[in-house]
Amino acid sequence: MRLPHRSINSIQPLPSIYTTFPSNYDSSQSTDTPGINSGTYLLRKIEDGIEAVPLERSNILSAPILSPDQEEKEVFVPSCKEIDALEKPLPNLPKCIWHRTSLRQRILALLGIQFLMLLTIGLSLLAVKGRSPTSNQDSSVHFASGGFPNKNATSDIRRGIFVLPIQLPQQQSSACLANDRQMQSWNCATNSTLQLSIIPTPAGDETAIMIAVGSTPSNDSVRRGERIPNIPPLDLLAVADAQNDEYAYHFRTTYDKVILLAEYELSMNGELQAHPSTLGTSFQPGDSLWQCVFNETLLEGYIYVTRATSTASEIANTETAGLPDFPYPVRLVEEWAPSGKTPSCRKMTMRQDGTLDPLSEEIMLRLEDPQGNIATSMSQTTKRTRDRERRQEVRSNHCQCQWMVDG
């Protein structure tokens, strides 16, 4: 293809770029003004009457600048703080192995830990369940001179409801009371009748038996002396009685021992008055009396089935209140040790229905023992294995009653 012919004169010349230096330029200034020699400042042609002033360094973030052949412009220089705020921070490096693992690996690790925990709990429960019958038997049987009790001697106890007549106690101590004139506030049951119920456990286990203690249905009178307690069913355990060196059935519990005294037996200052013996005297409706309470009194019983004193035919001929007598010898022990709550006596009145109500003027008579704290600390340090043997002895600061009924 042939290009059109054009003359050289028709081509427009390009604009020329030139620099104007001042007329008094000296080469010696090149060492002092490196910026001029390096082209940092572009000098424009200075017109007449216009003074050129060099720019000063300033800390202002925005300032107008001049460039050759351009209009005035404003440049904004951001601060370091604004730059740091706009920039996204880098993530922290993981410090432990758990943070370095992936999400899937974490989930699998948690599931594995839960499975191991459930497996450990299940194996522990199975081990306890398999060992519980043996441990319960070992904990309920105490040995006096070694060896296991005779199974036939402790499993042939008769079931049923029986009566147990109680006469004078073999041992009686009021050592827990500090005042000698308050000794009769602690009273032991005399000429009373207990009702003993030997029953199986609700679970239906033939080898496990329970006992309940209470008063006979015909004995509903309110008499002077100790009131017969009503104790719910308790477990009968085969133990070795250290005092008699033989095996027996044993039960143990605590209850609030209640003793009733005539109105004239206690004065306003809590001292007993001189009076004839009135044991077993019944109170009548409208009578005023004193009710003394010993909280948390210990009651223990030992049934010696190896020394049965009556046969089935003999039991049928000796009945009290329509119930047969208990066919085994029994030893009962009541004991009260000084504790946090002091025993007290309150004045009461008897209603027509036989219930007791406090009078309008309530009188609280507290019977304190100065050695109560010492006795409590001593009883806490006594070992469990020898506590039953030591409890049979009359302690110097404990109130105690003990009966031995041959059956």
Q: In this predicted structure, what is the pLDDT of residue 177? A: 78
pLDDT per residue, tens digit, the chain (407 aa), is 566 666 667 766 666 555 555 555 555 554 444 444 444 444 444 455 555 555 555 555 545 555 555 555 555 555 666 555 556 666 676 667 777 788 888 899 999 999 999 999 999 998 887 665 444 444 343 443 344 444 444 457 889 999 999 989 999 988 887 776 677 788 898 888 999 999 988 776 767 889 999 988 876 778 888 899 999 999 999 888 666 667 889 999 999 999 998 888 876 555 555 455 555 678 888 888 888 888 899 999 999 988 766 544 344 444 555 889 999 999 999 998 877 678 888 888 998 888 888 876 665 655 554 444 444 444 444 444 455 444 444 466 788 999 999 86
Note the residue count of the chain: 407
Q: In this predicted structure, what is the pLDDT of residue 235? A: 92
Contact present, 335 and 398 (Cβ < 8 Å): yes
Question: Domain limits of the chain?
Answer: 151-382+395-405
Q: Which residues contact 193 (CB under 8 A, 6 or more apart)?
A: 163, 164, 165, 166, 215, 216, 219, 228, 320, 321
Residue carrying structure tokens 């009461």: 348
Q: In this predicted structure, what is the pLDDT of residue 36? A: 46
Distance in angstroms (rounded) separating the CA atoms of residues 255 and 335: 11
Q: In this predicted structure, what is the pLDDT of residue 242? A: 61
- Going by the DSSP 8-state scheme, the letter that residue 285 receives in this structure is T
